[in-house]
Amino acid sequence: MSLDLACAVLLWSAVINYGILLLWFLVFRFAHDWLLQLHGRWFRIPAEQFDAIHYAAMAFYKTGVLLLNVAPYLALRLAA
């Protein structure tokens, strides 16, 4: 795999992952009650705990994207 291809793959992976994160945030923000009701069918958790779980999961996902996509992309760009 060439250096340019690896950079392109990492860049597009980061873009797609941030798109997923943005979609997740928008659904969580604007369809919160529907999302809580949907998850409430399977799990009995209060709204505060539901919010905390989603907030922590979004932070974990964002950290993963930064460490696994953005940081290697920047390292390859600086090395090239």
Sequence-separated (6 or more) residues with CB below 8 Å from residue 65: 14, 17, 18, 21
Number of structural domains found in the chain: 1
What residue numbers bound the domain in which 31 lies?
3-79
CB 47 within 8 A of CB 36: yes
Tens of pLDDT, residue by residue over 43-64, are 999 999 999 999 999 999 999 9
Torsion angle of C-alpha atoms 16, 49, 51, 70, degrees rounded to 10: -30
E-strand spans in the chain?
A: none
Tens of pLDDT, residue by residue over 19-49, are 999 999 999 999 999 999 999 999 999 999 9
* Buried/exposed code over 41-62 (b: 16+ C-beta within 10 A; e: otherwise): eeeeeeeeebeeebeeeeeeee
80 confidence band (pLDDT: 50, 70, 90): confident
